[in-house]
């Protein structure tokens, strides 16, 4: 399996519900970032969590990081139809204590929020 795998691959919910997406990775990381992509367009940066952080919030987004399990989750609360998109996690791996800014992406979760 690859660095930065995500589950579920697809998630379908109703407006107002919460959406949770999970990401697993294999190597030691400097940070983990979450992105949103609408219909094959550019990636929108959502949030970055450092390896020494366990939880981070930004508006309706909550990200957790468990480095012992090499996993992260993205929670979107009170979802809206406009949240419909693909969501990707990306890890910035450490190599000998140095980060090179090279991101490894998960396969992504396709979120559909029904009005």
Partner 1 sequence: SAVISQKPSRDICQRGTSLTIQCQVDSQVTMMFWYRQQPGQSLTLIATANQGSEATYESGFVIDKFPISRPNLTFSTLTVSNMSPEDSSIYLCSVVAPWSGTSYEQYFGPGTRLTVT
Report helix, strand and coil shares of the chain as percent, to nearest 5: 5, 65, 35
Nearer to partner 1, 15 or 104 (CB): 104
59: left (phi over 0), alpha (psi -120 to 50) or beta: left
Per the CB < 8 A criterion, the answer to whether 56 and 62 are in contact is yes
Residue 103 within binding range of partner 1, rule CB under 8 A = yes
Residue of 76, 50, 54 lying closest to 65 (CA atoms): 54
Nearer to partner 1, 50 or 54 (CB): 50
Q: Output 15 or 22, the one with its CB closest to partner 1.
A: 22
Q: How far is the CB of 101 from partner 1 (least distance, A)?
A: 5
Residue 42 interacting with partner 1 (CB under 8 A): yes
User: What's the min distance (Å) between Cβ of 20 and partner 1?
Assistant: 19
From the list 52, 42, 47, the residue with the least C-alpha distance to 89 is: 47
Chain contacts with partner 1 (rule: CB under 8 A)? 30-31, 33, 35, 40-45, 48, 50, 88, 90, 92, 99-108
């Amino acid at each position: 399996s690859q660095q930065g795998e995500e589950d579920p691959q697809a998630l379908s919910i109703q407006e107002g519900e919460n959406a949770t997406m999970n990401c697993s990775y294999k190597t030691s990381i400097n940070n983990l970032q979450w992105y949103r992509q609408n219909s094959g367009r550019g990636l929108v940066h959502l949030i970055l969590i450092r390896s020494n952080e366990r939880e981070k919030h930004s508006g309706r987004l909550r990200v957790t990081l468990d480095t012992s399990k090499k996993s992260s989750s993205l929670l979107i609360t009170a979802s809206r139809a406009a949240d419909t998109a693909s969501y990707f996690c990306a890890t910035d791996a450490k190599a000998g204590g140095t980060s090179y800014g090279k991101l490894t992406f998960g396969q992504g979760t396709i979120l559909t929020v029904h009005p």
